[in-house]
Chains A and B, each alone.
Chain A
């Protein structure tokens, strides 16, 4: 049976054996390297390939007034989105959106062109944001015929009181790259506080996002998701501000530009915080349009300015409340009199009293109640600028009060050193005169005045102005004034209200005190015979600022009300009536005012 067998070449047989051996060895070695040696690393990469995380937005905490009235909450907002990949004919679809919404096609096109490259073809592109329910109903009834379109639900921060609380609450807007870099819990599209308490209370209000594990395919398309962490909503915050009082104060302001604060002198709580004009903070929640933003930014009435804490003004005669305390602390007797002839001459400069004919003989009390400038000129000269500076700073001026709002300004207490640094020139005596009546370089914020007046009433504690109902009393310093000093000033203010320049706030049913101020904005050159122009005759931006710093006490409740009207003119004629209306709200209409005495 045995055949003459063919013998394969020996080298060839070895070659085949070697090749098979090599195949096995090389492949298994490499597989070991990948799957065992680096297996964990690849497994991690595979996990990262497949799993994405999707954040679940936590509802932002509501903000309420001190009576649980809603000042900021979240509402549902509908938006219409388009997934390009699913859309058969984009121009026709956009036209249909225009037909539904009544928005010009060109505008929708513009939005589409602007955003189309920001999202992938399979991701929703928002075309209409914050659409009303009627439109949602209309679109939903026909949307089946329009693949790629979808109505999506989002939440939007809602400020029912709009402008009235704009500067207290601030606003939220979409997070920017810088904020994201600073806080890793933030992600694109998050709303964060940008201004006001929304910014200051960001941590409490934000809550904690939940987390979905999202399984995706290679095109990042979602295949399924599982809840990993529940979202936790932000804390609800009660403001110390009272909505009704805020409203009354806001209305009292009318159309004026300026601000008003109502502070409880014992606790430091702010009960009203008005700055006017303001803006509708709802504009920011879903992205403010460029047109609206430009309008706000360039308005010559500066609606973005928080006048209570960010605007600095010369305090005018309100400053005399501080100077008086200084005089007393420096040992000047309240009985000492000064003769006011209506002006004082210093070198070749004439410093006038506001009262043309002069006040005649004045003592400390009458100097306050009648706001006699000459008295303050002469006494201040005796004390000197250095002591004034020291005392003003110790009394809380020239530094922020510490209120929980961003961008608070310090104001300015001038000094020799400051002037040298600022202008390269030495201090001159006339500047001490100006400083003594709250003119010249001195700048204060209205909230500083409120803190100062509160300190006079509460025993000398300088308090941090509080905006939250549940925050405790925070003492930031002690007024460098003895009890007698404070009592004297409080008494002088009482007299100013009952018989002096602050009479406008006077009411019999309450213990009232006040001090007005009229701060010159521009120094008007006046010859000896010139008469002062009436406010109405001056250009708006040259008109004086009107101040009134007051307190009122009734039935054991005491409030400090400070009103500042920009370019309003006289303190008693413009700021005073506003303060009066605020007291009318707090204490009820004054009983001796027939016009309001209905009950």
Chain B
């Protein structure tokens, strides 16, 4: 590998990412603590997250070590493998909380939908990069049809969050790429129909319930609304400066559900207050802007679109997760990158950033 490449690394991105990851581990340390009697007992989430981070760094290095343009050739094989894995889930998957999403590998479980996210992203970048002009019907529907296959398989698991995320990433990439006027208008007109269809045919009762509860959280405070109310209490009670590290009462006393996964940021908000939250949000924005600058500076369309896809991958997760925790969004199972606990997600996050760094390193290279 060319040594000059390292001088082109987007160091800002790397630093923001590492800061976010370390904040996440620190937050998990606090979130996994449970007050018992006078002391605290910590479960192993933060330690495991540290290990996942180490593995993630290895994945990131690996993702940086080759020319990203090779991904373009691997897009279809990747995609097909991910579809195969998704098809395997109903057969060998294990059921957790009523959903079959994981394939057990003995020492760990993998979540094929995470792989599918990556595969769809790469394939979409490839398909969208084909030509320069805004998308017409043909390109648009090709991309959509390709994405619908994994989306359908994922929504059957059921995993509404991941499906939505995939569609949103794709939508973001398409918007970035630009649509022809008539395609855009048709899409805007068709959106309500698709939404209605999703509501009645594509969702489970509990998913509909979550959205209804989101609209009126006080309705069922011990049931579905409990998550929302408790997370708002946790965050709101942090006030300006927060209650201090490991001092969050709502989280440590287990009022807050899923405080190490989807609701981890509520723990952060409770302990670090408004000041901490603004710093965190700012950090996320700087992080996104770093990715964004890489996308703008990429030397080819595929690289740019790939990075834009990754941008949206992070953007939507950040927006939906924080929005959900602070009561701006319905509760859907989407984790917050680097802050929520999760093995597969951490590996994927690091890998994707490896690709962004990969693109950024090679922005000044001559065309091969």
Contact = CB atoms under 8 A, between A and B. Distances in A.
B106 interface: no
A368 B87 CA distance: 114
A49 B238 CA distance: 14
B90 interface: no
B274 A31 contact: yes
Nearest to A38: B236
Contact of A223 (B35, B240, B323): B35
B328 interface: yes
Contacts of A4: 367
A12 B326 contact: no
10 nearest CB pairs, A to B: A42-B236, A12-B176, A39-B239, A46-B237, A35-B274, A218-B255, A43-B237, A217-B253, A34-B236, A42-B237
Nearest to B257: A218
B254 A35 contact: no
A41 B365 CA distance: 57
Given A24-B282, A28-B281, A39-B240, A50 B235 contact: no
A17 B367 contact: no
Nearest to B255: A218
| Interface of B: prevailing SS | helix
Interface in A87-121: none
Interface in B218-258: 230, 232-240, 249-250, 253-256
A39 B269 CA distance: 11
Interface stretch (B61-69, B111-119, B207-215, B293-301): B293-301
A49 B249 contact: yes
A290 interface: no
Contacts, number: 155
B36 A223 contact: yes
Contacts of B198: none
Given A31-B277, A31-B281, A46-B233, A20 B292 contact: yes
B308 interface: yes
Contact of A36 (B270, B274, B285, B323): B274
B57 interface: no
Contacts of A216: 253
Nearest to A49: B255
B366 interface: yes
Contact of B176 (A16, A26, A36, A41): A16
Of the candidates B37, B235, B269, B365, the one having the most CB atoms from chain A within 10 angstroms of its own CB is B235
Given A16-B292, A35-B239, A43-B237, A224 B304 contact: no
A263 to B, nearest CB: 60
A23 B299 contact: no
A420 interface: no
Of the candidates A23, A46, A47, the one having the most CB atoms from chain B within 10 angstroms of its own CB is A46
B248 to A, nearest CB: 9
Given A35-B273, A223-B35, A27 B326 contact: yes
B263 interface: no
B175 interface: yes
A6 B37 contact: no
